[in-house]
Amino acid sequence: MTASNTNPGTAVVLNGAPRAGKSSIVSAIQQASQEPWLNLGADRYIEITPPRFRPGIGLRPAGIAGRPGGERPDLEPLIPTMYQALYDAIAVHLHKGLNVVADVAHHDDYVSLNGILLDCARRLDGLEAYFVGVRCPVDVVWHRRKETWLRDEDIPADAPVPELVRIWDREVHRPGIYDLEVDTSKLSSEACARLILGHIETGPEPGAFRTLATMFGQA
């Protein structure tokens, strides 16, 4: 896992809904490990995307915005290329011996697209890349949204969980094939990081991306 010109690096791709706690786990991994882990996640990619093309790879599931138009159908043609570039960049870093931790929110609930995750998986197939599901109950996610993004809005404490939160949780974990899963309602980000790093050191070799890659073209 140490950076080298001959030994490939390791990738951890964290997949989960917004506010599930992925970014906190990224930071915790970077702090806990003695080795350098570079953050190449979706948040970083959105930052380098021109504002008029955002949220780019952060585009919400179409079911949230309501079909048939989705949230930004004009952006959908860009999404596959953006994901391809992100995963190709991860692969290049691994080939250079650098470790990568990336937070994403994969889903296939677009108006005109499908199979993006499967295409991304084949770009990491054969590399030491772990796909980690970051779970969090929708009521906890909703509470976190109210405490952060929506803290300036007067939302009643007993306001029900919006459908958009439920849709994100449902769509982001399809098909649910992971090397490891963590629940941030039960574990702190630091505990999740230790679990993930421990799994890399002592657990089985990664296989989720290989399994997903075999499904490419079948979607």
pTM, 2 dp = 0.93
2 — pLDDT class (breaks 50, 70, 90): very low
Give the list of residues 6+ apart from residue 197 with CB closer than 8 angstroms, or none: 29, 32, 33
Note the pLDDT of residue 66: 57
Neighbours of 120 (CB within 10 A): 24
Q: How far apart are CA 103 and CA 13, in angstroms?
A: 6
Angle in degrees, CA 208, 182, 47, rounded to 5? 80
**Rg of the chain over all Cα atoms, to the nearest angstrom:** 17
Note whether 164 and 60 are within 8 A (CB): yes
Per residue in 88-100, pLDDT tens?
999 999 999 999 9
Q: How far apart are CA 9 and CA 5, in angstroms?
A: 10
Tokens standing for residue 83: 């994901």
CATH topology assigned to domain 10-214: Rossmann fold (3.40.50)
Per residue in 30-47, pLDDT tens?
999 999 999 999 999 999
Where in the chain are the domains?
Answer: 10-214
Tokens standing for residue 128: 């030491």
